[in-house]
Structure 1
Amino acid sequence: MPSARDDRLAPLTGIRFAAALGILLFHYGGPLVASAPAWVRTLQTGGHAWVSLFYVLSGFVLAWANPHPMDRAERRAFLTARLARLYPAYLLAFALSAPFALSRWSGDGAGGLAKAAVVAGASLLLVHAWLPPISRLWNAPGWSTSAIATFYALFPFATARLARLSRRGLAAALCAAWAASLALPLAYLALRPDGPGAELLRHEPRWLEALKFHPVARLGEFLAGVALGLLLRRGAALPRRLAAPAAALALAAAVAALGWGGFPYVLVHNGLLVPLWALLVAGLAGVAASGGALGRALSARPLQALGEASFALYALQDPLWRWAELLLRTPGTPASPAFVLGFSAVAVAISLGVSRWLERPARRALRAALGPAPFAAARPPAP
C-alpha cells in the first residue's frame, strides 16, 4: 500500500513521462510534424522547455520529501540516494555513447586521446556542465544530468535556509527564484554578447551555450520548485475543488505559449514558464488529495511505470538514436515518420526494461555499498 506521500506524488510521476516524451520528440520528432499546422511544428521545436518542468518537479519533490534541515549523516544518506538514482542509467548511456564520442578524436593522436580523457572524466564525475563547450560532447542530454547533480549537492544547504522562512517568505523566495532564472537571459537579450540572431545558429556561440547549459544559469528553476514544495508542506495548497482545473489550465497555457512561439527563445528555454510549471505541480499535488479523474489517470499503474522510466528515456535517447541510425538507416537519408515512431516505441520499451532490471537492482546495490538508506524515500523526478 503506498503511503500518503506517495499517493500525493503519484500524479507527478505520471506527468514526468509526458515531459520526457516531449523532450524526445523535440529532438527527433521533426518528421512527424513536417506536414502539420505551423503551431504544431512550433510546439515540437519548443520542446526544450520540458527540461525546465523537470527542474521544478525535482526541486518540489525533494522539498516535499525532505522539508527539514539535515545533519551530516542525513546529508550523506540523501546524496547517496540521489547518486543511486542518477548513475545506473546515466552510466549505461555513457557506455553506449562511447564509440560515437571517441570517434570525434580518433584521428588526433595523443592530443585527441587527452581531450577524450578530459571529456570522459568530467562526464563520469558529472561536472561537465560546468564547462559548457564540452557539456554535450559525450552524451548530449547528459548536460542536464550534470546540472541536476549540482542541484542535488546544493539542496540540503538551500533547504536549511529556506526552511526557516514563513509562508510569506517562501512565496517571496519562489518569486525571487523565478526572477533569478530570468536575470541572465534578460541580460543576454539586452547585451547581445554573441551578436543578433545568435539563438538561430545551428551551433551555439560561447555565451549562449553557457546560458543554456551552465548549472548556475538553471539553478533558479530548481530553487523555485524547492520553495514551492516547502510552501505546500506548510499547508499553502490550492483548494481541492480548484486543483484539477488549475493543473489543466497551467498545462494548456504552457502548450499554447510553446505553440505560439512568440516569446524570446532564451527566456522560454531558461525559465519563463516557471509560474505555469509551479501551478501545474501544485495543482497535480492537490489532485491526488482530492481524488479527481485527472489524478486517477496520472496515477494509473501504466503511467507510474512509464514515469519511473522517464529518466532512463531521457538519458538513453541520444545513444539509442545513434545506434538505430547506424544499424537501420541508409547513411545520408532523412528519417521517415515510420522510423521515428518505431524508434520512439522501442526507446520507451528499452527504458522500461532498464528501469526495472538495471536501475532498481543497481540502486539497491549502490545504496548498500555507499551508505544507509535515506530517511525520506521519495521518488524525485530526475531530468
Structure 2
Amino acid sequence: MLKNTAPFHDDTRLPALTGLRFLAALAVMVSHFDHRALISVPDAVISFLDGGRTAVSLFFVLSGFILAYNYSNLSGRTGRVKFYANRVARIYPVTLLALALGALGVAYAIANPASGALMDWYALEEPNAVNIGGSFIAQITVLTGWLPTASLNQPWNSPAWSISCEFFFYALFPFLIVAMKRLTPARVTLVLLGAFVFQCVTIWGARAYAPAGQKGFLVSQFPLTHLFEFVIGIAAALFFLRGGAGWIGRGFNRALLLSASLIPLALIAFFRPVDPAYLLMSPLFAVLILALGVPPKKRASILAWGPLVLLGEASFSLYMIHVPLMNLYSIANTPAWVGWLLFAVTVGLSIAVFKWFETPSRSRVRTMILKLWPAGSSGKHLDRSHA
C-alpha cells in the first residue's frame, strides 16, 4: 500500500479565515442583488465593494493560502492524485447543482422572449443554440473563464468563471508548492515580483489589443490575470508555517499587520487609485490573512464566532447558487424589502446545501474518483478545507 504523502492539517484551527470567506461572499452577493434591483444599496457602498470583484480576488488569495497550509508536504504522483480527487470533490458537485438551477432561468428566458431576460441576464439578443449550447459545455467543463465573450461567459451561471480559475490553479498547485518550498525567501520574493509583473502586463495587453467586447472579461475574469493572487497566497502560507505564525503572535505584531492591511485596503477601495483595484489589494489581502490566521490574545476573534464560521463553511454554496436564484427572484419584480427577505432566504438555502448536499457529495465523489484512479486509493482523510 502506498504511503499518503499529503498530510492533512485541520483548518478548523484557522476559523477566522472561514468567517472571512462569508464576508467576501456577502460582498459579491450584495453587489449582484443590487445590480438586479432586488435590493437597494447606496452607490457609494457598491463602489467601495467594487461590485464584488475585489472580494473574488480575496477568495483566490485565500485559496492559495489554505491549500498550501493543508498540503504543505504534498509530493509525488500519489499525493497529486489524492489532491486532485479532493479538489474535484470539493468543487464539482455544487457546480453541477448551480448549473441545474441556472437551467431554470435559461428555460424561462427562452420561453418568454418578451421579458428581456435573455439580454438582461445572459447578454443574448435571441436564443442562439450555438451560444446556449456552447455556454453549457463551457460550464460543465469549467472553462467559462477561458472564453471572454458575454454570450458564452454569462448564460447558465455567470459566477462559474471563477471556478475556471480555481481548476487552473489546482492543476498547477502540486508543482507550485514543491517548487516554492525549495526556494529561499529572497527567491520567493522574486517569483512574486515576476508574477505581479506578468499580471500587470496581461492586463495592459488585454486593454491595449483585445476587442472591445472582451477587454472587461480578460481584465476581471481571465485565469491568467489572477494567477498572482493564488501564488501570493501560497507564499503567505509558507511564511506562516515556517515561523511566521509565532512571530505574528508576539507583542503587537498581529495588531500592526491588521492595521497595515485594513487601513490601506479601505483607502484603495474608497479612492480607487488604480483600476482594477485588486492589483494593489491582493498583496494586502495576503497580509490580512496572515494576521487573521493567528487568534488574538485573551479573547476569540469575532470572525471565529460559531455562526459566522458556519456561514463561511457554506460560502462556496452561497457563491454558486445565488445568481441562478437571483435571476428567478427577479421575475416577480418585488419591492426592495422583499428582496432583502429573499437575500436572507438565499443565505439560509446555502447552509442547507452545504450540510445536506455539498458535504455528503464531497465524500461520495472523492471515493468514486479514487476507485477510477486507484493510484490515490490509500489513505482515508477527507479534504475538509474551505478554500
Under a length normalisation based on structure 2, what TM-score does the superposition of the two structures give? 0.82
Equivalent in the alignment of 1:129: 145
- Does residue 17 of structure 2 align to residue 12 of structure 1? yes
Structure 1 range deviating more: 126-135 or 350-359: 126-135
Equivalent in the alignment of 2:100: 95
Equivalent in the alignment of 2:358: 359
Equivalent in the alignment of 1:201: none
Equivalent in the alignment of 2:118: none
Alignment of 1:250-269 (within 5 A): 250-260=261-271, 262-265=272-275, 267-269=276-278
Give ranges in structure 1 of 5+ residues lacking alignment: 199-204
Shift in alpha-carbon separation, 1:69–1:358, aligned structure 2, 3 A: closer
Alignment RMSD (CA, Å): 2.8
Alignment of 1:1-383 (within 5 A): 5-29=10-34, 34=41, 36=42, 39-101=44-106, 112-133=128-149, 134-188=152-206, 191=208, 205-237=213-245, 238-240=247-249, 241-260=252-271, 262-265=272-275, 267-269=276-278, 271-285=279-293, 287-288=294-295, 290-291=296-297, 293=299, 295-326=300-331, 329-330=332-333, 336-371=335-370, 372=377, 379-382=384-387
Superposed CA deviations along residues 79-108 of structure 1, whole A, max 9, x for unmatched, are 111011111211111001013335667799
Displacement of 1:5: 4.5
* Partner amino acid, structure 2, of 1:101: V
Equivalent in the alignment of 2:5: none
Superposed CA deviations along residues 204-229 of structure 1, whole A, max 9, x for unmatched, are x1233223222112111111111211
Contact in 1 for aligned 2:74/2:80 (Cα 8 Å): no
- SS of the equivalent of 1:67 reads coil
Distance in 1 (CA, whole Å) between partners of 2:266 and 2:259 is 11
Shift in alpha-carbon separation, 1:227–1:212, aligned structure 2, 3 A: same
Shift in alpha-carbon separation, 1:184–1:122, aligned structure 2, 3 A: same
Contact in 1 for aligned 2:159/2:320 (Cα 8 Å): yes
Under a length normalisation based on structure 1, what TM-score does the superposition of the two structures give? 0.83
Superposed CA deviations along residues 214-258 of structure 1, whole A, max 9, x for unmatched, are 211211111111121122222234431321442255234323321
Distance in 2 (CA, whole Å) between partners of 1:192 and 1:343 is 42
Corresponding residue pairs, total: 354
Shift in alpha-carbon separation, 1:303–1:281, aligned structure 2, 3 A: same
Displacement of 1:23: 0.6
Distance in 2 (CA, whole Å) between partners of 1:362 and 1:154 is 24
Give ranges in structure 2 of 5+ residues lacking alignment: 1-7, 114-123, 371-376
Contact in 2 for aligned 1:40/1:259 (Cα 8 Å): no
Superposed CA deviations along residues 158-199 of structure 1, whole A, max 9, x for unmatched, are 11211111233223333433333333224456x3755xxx7x
Superposed CA deviations along residues 281-305 of structure 1, whole A, max 9, x for unmatched, are 11111x22x5454x53212211111
Distance in 1 (CA, whole Å) between partners of 2:274 and 2:209 is 13
Contact in 1 for aligned 2:10/2:384 (Cα 8 Å): no
Shift in alpha-carbon separation, 1:193–1:364, aligned structure 2, 3 A: closer
Displacement of 1:144: 0.5
